[in-house]
Chain A
């Protein structure tokens, strides 16, 4: 009791000068707002079955808005041709590849894992193996599995059956997503560049393709030395839905079999073969389809908009065009967000004391303006510099500041000072002593 009394006397002395009081309250107000944010996040994370909005919103980044609505339209990529394998069996894929090889592509990437031998169609396996052996600059996909926290690496590298994977090189096709399995809902914004598998690096599929096509561009990308990279999405391809469709040359099964394309489309280009639906007019198949920032519905769950092979094409285009995205380091982001909050607390506190009748109206208006301006800053930095600012916490604190500060000043501040906020038991004790 004595100690609590001493604590209150100390705080009272600390608040003795008016100016000191103001800055002290501004600091405490800032802390209070971040504590409130933390509390709200904790509560809603435990009650998230009651919060479908929060659940949906946690899946977006502000830069999703930029990708889906607000950036300048990127040019189509002319290095890459995406070929749909649809539901063709191995013999069909072999026939597609045989036709493609006639037109002498520079690199061929196959976004298919051929697991095991097909006992019911050994001829199909034989033909596929033969065609793969004849393919120049071939890259096949692999998959890293079984993460080991101890070594911060993976224990297993899954490849196609050796009769196929012995040709060409492999690159992992894993995409960072919240899905626990291939069949679940999955969104994609980033990928691992070079995970370690049993002590060895396995570069990403797109990096391996780029390395064969343009070694300098691939090296410039790898030299960034980032373990993960945000995908700078250029656009979709025919057969995909969503924003910025049609940024890659794309050929369907019939186009290949009928050779309904000009020879120079494939000559010296990169050909990526993968699944893009049962045909280009198939808009309902969602196998290997992801939700990306290009989705027109940027918040909340929506129909997935991009096939995996097209995501790899986007990564590849990013590497070849040196169109990387840099992100604000976490430490700087934290400092900037704290300063943003502090600045607003100071401003709002000043308004609270100087213009109490105008407090609600003015602060709400300022909140809106600041939010729009910060969002604009994020967009412009992204558009001009491919730099992702992170003001999420700062914006959240601004949006909470007005109401949170009212709670702070009217309840917490008064409880800490001698303005009608004395704890009842201290008052009672004093009365008893006086008696």
Chain B
């Protein structure tokens, strides 16, 4: 009897708790276009970028910005689209989802009524009402689409030369890229224009000599939406750099110089030392010197594929 009471009590409370635990979110972000943001209660001043797949709780607030779009999936499986800019509470949106349910019969009746009561359009007679399209195009500011640079957000380099490569913008007409380099105080120290999806910097240049950290971004000239995030190149500290150089000299042995094989060896060395940017620079140099050697490309591909950035 005592055991039965205990079991019953446990079952009763678990029934109460389980539904609450099963539904720990109200919405999940299905699709997200634009600079939409999220604020979680308790963190008053911190709006942060909204991620696709993110779970929203009842108290969370979202901000839909400009011409952005947000698609949400309710925990019931129903979906909601938000196309109008503004701030929204997740709980209020949830009530909209519940209200919106229409049976098939209701939809059919609404459809018949709308068809019966529909006024016939006469575009010629009522031409003033039908002026929604123009023969011109709009070029509005829209969210930047990322140019991806093949490196971690911040990378330590030995140098002295560094190759920065990015994924091409995929435009019909080959673009001109503008690389803007800044110091740690966000002051522009150099800009470079190029038609290639890469540049090679020499950190021995006067403009870089005194900089411990160089920040850069890449964008397409004339197309503001094609822009990368900011990336950082940190120069390796003096002692570490000397030690790496010694080890490299030992590793490379007699294979120094500007030959493809020596650069390949350097690449493998830097890869092992977790200096991805130096490795990329060495691989790129090796391939540039011997473009027909498929094995170099294969090794470079494997290196890129294995990276976690």
Residue positions of A touching B, CB distance < 8 A: 65, 69-73, 75-76, 78, 86-89, 91-92, 94-95, 98, 102, 122-123, 126-127, 129-131, 134, 235, 237-239, 245-255, 257-258, 260-262, 264-265, 278-281, 372, 376, 379-380, 383
Contacts and interface: CB of A to CB of B under 8 A. Distances in A.
Contacts of A102: 308
Given A249-B52, A281-B142, A131 B33 contact: no
Nearest to A263: B53
A278 B142 CA distance: 12
Nearest to A372: B112
Contact of A260 (B49, B69, B77): B49
A95 B150 contact: yes
A239 B145 CA distance: 14
A304 B275 CA distance: 48
Contacts of B143: 254, 281
B297 A254 contact: no
Contacts of A71: 104, 107
A138 to B, nearest CB: 14
B144 A254 contact: yes
Given A94-B305, A253-B145, 18 more contacts: A65-B111, A76-B30, A76-B73, A76-B79, A78-B73, A87-B169, A91-B167, A130-B304, A131-B301, A249-B31, A249-B53, A252-B145, A254-B143, A255-B52, A257-B148, A279-B33, A279-B145, A281-B143
30 contacts: A70-B104, A73-B78, A73-B79, A86-B145, A87-B170, A88-B168, A92-B167, A95-B167, A95-B304, A122-B297, A123-B287, A127-B297, A127-B300, A134-B305, A238-B32, A239-B33, A246-B31, A248-B31, A250-B31, A251-B31, A254-B145, A255-B32, A260-B32, A264-B53, A278-B170, A280-B33, A376-B108, A379-B104, A379-B108, A383-B104
A131 B31 CA distance: 26
Interface string B161-190: 000000111111000000000000000000
A358 to B, nearest CB: 23
Contacts of A280: 31, 33, 69
Given A102-B308, A122-B297, A261-B53, A238 B31 contact: yes
A126 B147 CA distance: 21
Contact of B170 (A75, A89, A94, A239): A89
Given A126-B297, A280-B69, A258 B31 contact: no
Contacts of B237: none
Interface string B50-81: 01111100000000000101010100111101
Given A254-B144, A379-B104, A89 B168 contact: yes
B185 to A, nearest CB: 25
A82 to B, nearest CB: 9
A69 B73 contact: no
B294 interface: yes
B32 to A, nearest CB: 7
A261 B51 contact: yes
Contact of A129 (B34, B49, B301): B301
Contacts of A261: 51-53
A262 B302 contact: no
Contacts of A87: 169-172
A95 B291 CA distance: 21
Contacts of A78: 73
Given A76-B79, A123-B287, A265 B107 contact: no
Given A126-B294, A246-B71, A131 B305 contact: yes
Interface in B89-119: 102-104, 107-108, 111-112
Contacts of B81: 245-246
